[in-house]
Amino acid sequence: MTFRPGQLVLAALVLVAWTPPAVASAPELVIGSKRFTESFLMAELAARAAESAGTSVRQAKGLGGTAIVFASLESGSIDLYPDYVGTLAEAVLHLPGHPDRASVAQALQGRGLCLTDGLGFENTYALAVAEGRAKTAGVRSISDLAAHPELVIGVSNEMAGRPDGWPGLAAEYRITAQPRAMDHGLAYEAIRSGAVDVVEVYSTDAKVERFGLRVLHDDRHFFPSYDAVFVYRCEARARFPRAFERILALAGTVDAAAVMRWNARVEIDGLTPQAALDGDREGATSLGRASLLAKLLVVIRTQGPTHLGLVLVSLVASALAGVPLGVLARRSRRLRGPILGAAGALQTVPSLALLCFLIPLLGSAPSPRWWPCSFTGCSPSSPTRTRASSTSRRRSASRPSCSG
């Protein structure tokens, strides 16, 4: 039995385009999160609030950076996720200046999205001093640094070179001291060893409390507002009124000190986000402090089947599309060039980039994730919970990229 070239192409396109139908299930509120600790914690708070209202909840954990998670929200794949006013203003809406929560909420209305009121804390750029040194020098705000040029200041390489970083900050506060530029990951060790007196931090970093640092008050409001909020689909509130009543009630109840403790329990003590929120509840410590092997086995057990399923589907789909096209290219000189050229071009596009473009069309449920991999023949990445540092992830997540 022989097939015409046109039949082979049509069969390949149909096989790649086919998506298994979703199985009907009870309505559930889907809560997403980015790939860093603080986002996991805030998503868990929202999930607990919704579950306390009797609502069925599913968490889509660690979807990626801002671009992917926001696209998932717009497409309807998730109903809600935690974010920051400054991140939404800069990375998503591209609003000029330092817009407040009301301005960001108004801009989101046109997209069918809503914001909760602030949760009670912000995770913004800040400067911190060792508590003992701060008491000795009498330093409480950034303005106080101008009167203490003897203090050695350390900032990240990025902040040192950006006009809206240290140069702008120094001009605003009339600070004449020249900072030492360093990798942000070395900042805490530098201040602990006494190499510097002042370091750049994020205001809810896990190590701020553990290292006994005092975050200096930004009394001239130089840094943008990064108030923590939940952004959600407005129509989801109508579908889950009781759940959103509990979630909206979280506004103003979460303070920065608590968030710092929770971040530290996860990133330093090795607790899970659930155990970190449980605090001293019986059993939380033994659960959170499980060995690395035990945690790895949990990830394999919970995420392994999904990952293997995605790999199998994407591999079969790419083979079913690639083999007929390969046969067609072998038999038809006229089509050989276009087919090989198109295949070569697609191979240069990362599957994650294709995924980012396809999320608005297909959502972020498991079934569409094999689409980009069907074209590139790669293994799709399954969103698993990771212990990525909040420090390194939260600012990279604020930029509109498809990476985590």
Which 8-state DSSP code applies to residue 116?
P
Whole-number percent of the chain with pLDDT over 70:
74
CA dist 58 and 364 (Å) reads: 13
The pLDDT score that the predictor gives to residue 353 is 62
The pLDDT score that the predictor gives to residue 385 is 34
| Interval 41-74: pLDDT, tens | 999 999 999 999 999 999 998 888 888 899 999 9
The pLDDT score that the predictor gives to residue 363 is 56
CA dist 404 and 396 (Å) reads: 8
More confident residue, 314 or 144: 144
The pLDDT score that the predictor gives to residue 399 is 37
- Which of helix, strand or coil describes residue 199? strand
| Interval 193-250: pLDDT, tens | 888 999 988 889 888 888 889 999 999 988 888 999 999 999 999 999 999 999 999 9
Q: Assign 293 a pLDDT band (cuts: 50, 70, 90).
A: low
Mean pLDDT for 30-50 is: 94
The pLDDT score that the predictor gives to residue 315 is 81
The pLDDT score that the predictor gives to residue 228 is 96
Indicate the CATH number for domain 29-122+226-291.
3.40.190.10
CA dist 298 and 319 (Å) reads: 31
The pLDDT score that the predictor gives to residue 358 is 62
Q: Assign 141 a pLDDT band (cuts: 50, 70, 90).
A: very high
More confident residue, 28 or 349: 28
Do residues 220 and 127 touch, judged by C-beta distance below 8 A? Answer: no
Q: Assign 20 a pLDDT band (cuts: 50, 70, 90).
A: low
Do residues 83 and 231 touch, judged by C-beta distance below 8 A? Answer: yes
The pLDDT score that the predictor gives to residue 299 is 64
Which 8-state DSSP code applies to residue 115?
E
Minimum mean pLDDT range among 7-11, 77-81, 400-404: 400-404
| Upper half-sphere CA count for residue 365 (Cβ side, 13 Å) | 15
Per-chain mean pLDDT for the chain: 79
| Interval 150-187: pLDDT, tens | 999 998 887 887 776 888 899 999 999 888 888 777 88
Please state the pTM of the whole predicted model.
0.69
CA dist 314 and 312 (Å) reads: 6
The pLDDT score that the predictor gives to residue 104 is 95
Provide CATH 3.40.190.120 ranges for the chain: 125-215
The pLDDT score that the predictor gives to residue 361 is 58
Mean pLDDT for 291-302 is: 66
| Interval 253-269: pLDDT, tens | 999 989 999 999 988 88
Minimum mean pLDDT range among 92-106, 154-168, 352-366, 376-390: 376-390
Asked if residue 102 has pLDDT above 90, the reply is yes
Minimum mean pLDDT range among 264-273, 294-303, 324-333, 376-385: 376-385
Q: Does domain 125-215 have CATH number 3.40.50.150?
A: no
Helix (H) or strand (E) holding 113: strand 113-115
Q: Assign 142 a pLDDT band (cuts: 50, 70, 90).
A: very high
Provide CATH 3.40.190.10 ranges for the chain: 29-122+226-291
Mean pLDDT for 272-292 is: 62
Token pair, residue 319, equals 């083979």
